[in-house]
Structure formats: C-alpha cells, structure tokens
Amino acid sequence: MRNKIEYVGYSKNVIDNVTSNVVLHGDDINEEVLQKVCNLWSTGKELKVIVSYLDRENKCTGEEGEYIVEQLEVYEKSLKDAPMTKTEVAETLTAMVNSAPVIREVPSTNIAAILPGFATEPGTPAPIEKKGRKQTPAVRTTGKVDAKSLIEKMQEQIELIRYIDSTVDMDNEPGQLSKAARDILIQYRKDVDKAKETAVQSIQQL
C-alpha cells in the first residue's frame, strides 16, 4: 500500500505523510492543482490518471505538469527501493529467532555400532555388518540455543541500524531551489537511501 501525500501551504511543499519527506516543491504551482494531485495519489489513482488530469488542467502549465509527474515518478521509485523500517527490521529479527534450529544431543545407545562384536543386549549376538555397506549410526545432539548470545547479537544489529538510520538528517532542506537544484537533492536522497538499505542488509548477515 502506497504512502499518502499532502500539500503543506506554509512551505509550499508536497510531503509524504508517513516519513514527512518532501516529495516535490510547489513554489509557484497552483495550490489547487497540487491538492488535487495529492488527493488522486492518496486515493490510489495510477500515475497515468494524474497525467491525464494535468494535461486537462488550465491552471497548470505544461512545464509544471511535467515537473510534477517527474517528481512523482522519482518518489514512486524511491518507495520501492526504500530500506526496511524499524518495525520491519524488528519483525525480521524476531522471525530469525523463532526459526533458529534447536540442536539436541542424545547419547547413542547402539552399542554394536560403537563397539563391533558386543551384543546390544546380554545374551544376544551382535549384528553382523554386511561387507560393502557401511552402517552409519544416527547422531543426535542435545542442548539449547544460547539465548543470551542471540539477544546480544540482535541488540548490536538494532543499534547499528538505528545509527545508520539517523546519520543523515534530510528534514532541513534549503528552500527556494531551482528545478535543477531540486533534482540534485532528490538524487542525493535516493543515493543515501540506497546506501542505508545496503548497510541494513549487511547488518542482517552478521
């Protein structure tokens, strides 16, 4: 399910309701147009529907319409490439713990397999092993998962992920930027998000 977006009048920006990240800078674009775009997006309309609306809207120039669509495309792609949220990371770590195998060790009682020639029970001859076939006794182990070590490992992973998630603050963006400058800022945001995602994936392999 896609995040909802809204137009913030005092900053003239369209933002993501969940992350508060700027989706696009409104500048001189008509507010009604931006609000309509936000409504179409937030109600699940496809991008082609928004394009069709902008093509018909006389309160928006062709250049402004192209800019809006371009930024929405970048935003849509960033959602697909976005790193996992803290909740998703916690759920993933919980699943890892729940799926951890429990290894049990059970002493073998197959005396004949350990010491050929001895009977398995008093008065019973030991089984004769056929030539050409090696019998391998089943080995079972006993024990339990070291919960303390597992928790310490998970805490380390969570702390690393929190650190990476907070290393770059992109909330305080400069205002009154040109379209070219905004494009650079958006690309920078995408690169940072991609780097965070890669780091989180590496941390999960620790």
Handedness of CA 19, 20, 25, 31 (dihedral sign): positive
State yes or no: pLDDT of 71 exceeds 90.
Answer: yes
Of the candidates 27, 32, 150, 140, the one whose C-alpha atom is nearest the C-alpha of residue 96 is 150
Whole-prediction pTM: 0.43
pLDDT band with cut points at 50, 70 and 90 for residue 119: very low
Please give the mean pLDDT across all residues of the chain.
75
Could you report the per-residue pLDDT of 74-97, keeping only the tens digit for each? Answer: 998 888 776 655 666 566 667 666
Q: For residues 36 and 49, is the Cβ–Cβ distance under 8 A?
A: no
Alpha-carbon span 7 to 35, nearest angstrom: 6
**pLDDT greater than 50 at residue 34:** yes
